[in-house]
Structure 1
């Protein structure tokens, strides 16, 4: 049996839906939800109903870690975690347009190290959010796992994750890392792709030539997704309209899950994008990276 593998963060999300602009120095009207989060875990959780999926990560030796593992396992994911330290938490502020402001304390999620070869068995694609390169032992572990996957003949997908993270890491440094690691897919939203010089308004960017072996998938919200394929013309895949949008949290992870599962099922990039769009649409009306509408 082949599987989709995901390495990355598994944390608690505290989702704060702002009912009004933040009133500094006093109370503000909000709704608060506690959910399982982490970009890596989100991708795994959304992918598992579509394709056999394994998650590789680290959580704390605490009751939060117990909850996170149990909740992710309940989606059908095969969960492989190390336990050390204290589980991470991310506070996510959602304004009335659905846009997010994230306040991360990643905790144990960055402490993954010395992963056994057995955890890579049967993986056809390994997906790695770029958050995994943002410090801690996980930064080196993620790079090591990518290299090991490539040596095994497997494929690798990287998500650009965040413009803030990319700026902290350094644009040139990140592009150099991608050129070294040679992922088969690099998934980015419009802002991330433009920042990296890989795609702008759906057109190929000047830095695409630095990644000659990588398919760059550039999302643009409700606008068509551009798929830049080395050596051939780009694809432009339209996005079906979504009626209700309240919370963008997890939509990018849901797209990655649908895209990778769709690609593993069909081997076609167009169908993979359509599957990614469909999966992403399911999370836009619910709190955090979930598909359950709040009461």
Structure 2
């Protein structure tokens, strides 16, 4: 079974129909959808592989609705209930790029989880957002260590440059060094931010190789939009996998989460790295024309 630990939130997705007008009105189309990076991964993975979500939502109607919606994707949902369910305002410009205004709310209140919630997991995936609040950060690190100690594999997603800047790139690299995830997912900007935090200029492939060298037990997967995905696997030369073109891109929200879901479920069913990346690309392509992480 695949486990995913982290945020289950409500996304308020705002598609801008014109350039944002500060201090005035802007024409938009708005959508309310389930969000949260971890929940997005779980929803896409649950369609094809046994998947468990672990997190915390408020003891409120929003939390009830989000749990039911995620469970409808075939996910085994295990949540603590505390505080107020979080939400994110996601501004989408006409090119599909996102600007996110998060209020994580109850997601940060996750306490160390019961052992039976992680028992039986072949793999545990945690977006880095989980580390940015307490007690959730401690709970996430504990769950990752527990899974690895039992012989499972683990992965972390770098989440966002804003998150890395707030947490501290060097501090995050130190955390990765102690957790030793089997896989680190990052987009190009996140990987370059970590390369800079590790002392590299972060402007070309050599710097990204240096980042991978700082994580000698971790396969580092760097996504770069429509450009090839690069995989730095320990002991192997960089592997570049082309991304099939997608027409009519309108919203990039959740594409990275969908990629992680496709990649991890493929690997758990025996696929090699190249085939798993292809599965990730195919899953990510499903969300690019719809509001938020929906398909």
TM-score (norm 2): 0.95
| Structure 2 segments unaligned to the other structure (5+ residues) | none
TM-score (norm 1): 0.95
User: Cα offset for 1:200?
Assistant: 5.5
Q: Is the 8 A contact 2:112 2:143 kept in 1?
A: no
State the distance in 1 between where 2:211 and 2:281 align.
Answer: 26
Over the aligned positions, Cα root-mean-square deviation in angstroms equals 1.2
Q: Report the equivalent of 1:85.
A: 83
| 4+ aligned runs moved over 3 Å, structure 1 | 198-204
Q: What is the correspondence of 1:188-267 to structure 2 with a 5 Å cutoff?
A: 188-197=186-195, 201-203=204-206, 204-267=208-271
Q: Secondary structure at the match of 2:266?
A: helix
Q: Report the equivalent of 1:170.
A: 168
Q: Is the 8 A contact 2:112 2:142 kept in 1?
A: no
- From 21, 24, 46, the equivalent of 1:23 is 21
User: Cα offset for 1:122?
Assistant: 1.6
Q: Is the 8 A contact 2:112 2:138 kept in 1?
A: no
Residue-pair matches, total:
289
State the distance in 2 between where 1:181 and 1:140 align.
Answer: 12
Q: Report the equivalent of 1:280.
A: 284
Q: Report the equivalent of 1:142.
A: 140
State the distance in 2 between where 1:82 and 1:253 align.
Answer: 22
Q: Secondary structure at the match of 2:40?
A: helix
User: Cα offset for 1:121?
Assistant: 1.8
Q: What is the correspondence of 1:59-70 to structure 2 with a 5 Å cutoff?
A: 59-70=57-68
* Deviation larger for 131-140 or 183-192: 131-140
Q: Please state if 1:95 is matched with 2:93.
A: yes
Q: Is the 8 A contact 1:14 1:92 kept in 2?
A: yes
Q: Is the 8 A contact 1:194 1:205 kept in 2?
A: no
Q: Secondary structure at the match of 1:257?
A: helix
State the distance in 2 between where 1:136 and 1:191 align.
Answer: 26
Q: Is the 8 A contact 1:46 1:257 kept in 2?
A: yes
| Structure 1 segments unaligned to the other structure (5+ residues) | none
Q: Secondary structure at the match of 1:123?
A: coil
Q: Please state if 1:115 is matched with 2:113.
A: yes
